Amino acid sequence: MAQRSTSAYARFFNLAVVLGLLLFTGCKRLPKYDTAEELRKAVNSGSAVEIQALLKSGVPVNFRNKAGWTPLMLATTKNSTAIIKVLLENNADINLADNQRRTALHLAARWSRPETVKFLLDSGADHELRDYLSWTPLMWAALQGRTDIVKTLIDGKASCLTLDGVGNTSIILAAWRGHTDTAALLLAYGADPSRANREGLNAIQVAEKNGHPELAAYLKKHWSAPPPKSGKNKLTAALR
C-alpha cells in the first residue's frame, strides 16, 4: 500500500510540475516530448483526472510515439472504455493508424475484450480499414482464434467475405491456425470455405496442409455449396 501511495504521489507531483511550468511560462504547451510522456503515463495508469488536466493544458490528444501509437491506441489495449470515452470526447481520432497501418480497432481485435471492441464500433471505428498486411480487424481476430471478437465484429457489420492482398479470407486465416470454433462461427455467418486464395488453396485445403484434419473434415461436412442462381445455370451444368 505504501508503494502504491508513493507511485500515486509521484504521478500527481509530476502533473503539478507540468501545470506549474505552464502557468509560470505562460505557454500553451510544453515541448512535445514532455507532454507526450505525461499523457502516456496518465493513460497507462487509467487516471481520467490527469488526462483531462493535460488535455485542457494543450497537450495534443492525437500525438504519436515512435511506433505511431496514439493515447487512444494505448487505452484500447488496456481495455479502458472509460479512458477511451474521455479521449474521444476530447477529439481523439478513432481511425488514425500507426506505422503498420493498424488502427485502435485492429489492436482491440487482437488483444482486447469484446466490450472494448463493441465500444469502438459504436463510437464510429471503421471495421474495414486494412493494415500493412491488407488485413481487417476481423481477419486478425480470426487468425488469433478470438471467436468472441469475431462475433462482435460481424454483429457490428464487419464482412467475413473480405479478401486480403493474396486472396485470403477470414476463414482461411482461422483454418491456418486450426481454430475450429472460430471457423465454425464464420461458416454460420456465410463464409465460403471453398474459395481459394492466389496459391489455389481454400480453407479446407489450408487446414489439411497445416495439420488440422479434424477442422478440414468439419468444414467438408457442414458446408453446403450454394444452389445455382438461375434455371439457365442448371441447364448449362446439365449439358456439361
For residue 110, the model assigns a pLDDT of 94
For residue 95, the model assigns a pLDDT of 98
User: 64-75: b or e for each residue (b if 16 or more CB lie within 10 Å)?
Assistant: beeeebbbbbbb
CA atoms within 13 A on the CB side of 35: 23
**Grid cell 479434424 in the structure block, residue:** 214
Does residue 86 share a domain with residue 24? yes
Rg (the chain; Cα; Å)? 23
For residue 226, the model assigns a pLDDT of 62
CA–CA gap between residue 43 and residue 37 (Å, rounded): 10
Does residue 175 share a domain with residue 89? no
Whether residue 113 is contained in a domain is answered as no
Does residue 215 share a domain with residue 139? yes
Q: Which residues of the chain have pLDDT under 70?
A: 1-34, 225-240
For residue 223, the model assigns a pLDDT of 85
Instruction: Determine whether 143 is exposed, middle or buried from the number of CB atoms within 10 Å of its CB (0-12, 13-18, 19+).
Output: buried
Q: The pTM is what?
A: 0.78
State the amino acid at position 106 in one-letter form: H
Does residue 139 share a domain with residue 49? no
For residue 7, the model assigns a pLDDT of 57
The domain containing residue 200 runs over which residues?
127-226
For residue 37, the model assigns a pLDDT of 81
For residue 47, the model assigns a pLDDT of 87
DSSP alpha helix (H) spans, the chain:
2-25, 32-45, 48-56, 71-77, 81-89, 104-111, 114-122, 137-144, 147-155, 170-177, 180-188, 203-209, 213-222, 231-239
Helix axes 170-177, 213-222, angle to 10 degrees: 140
Helix axes 170-177, 137-144, angle to 10 degrees: 20
For residue 240, the model assigns a pLDDT of 37
Domain count, the chain: 2
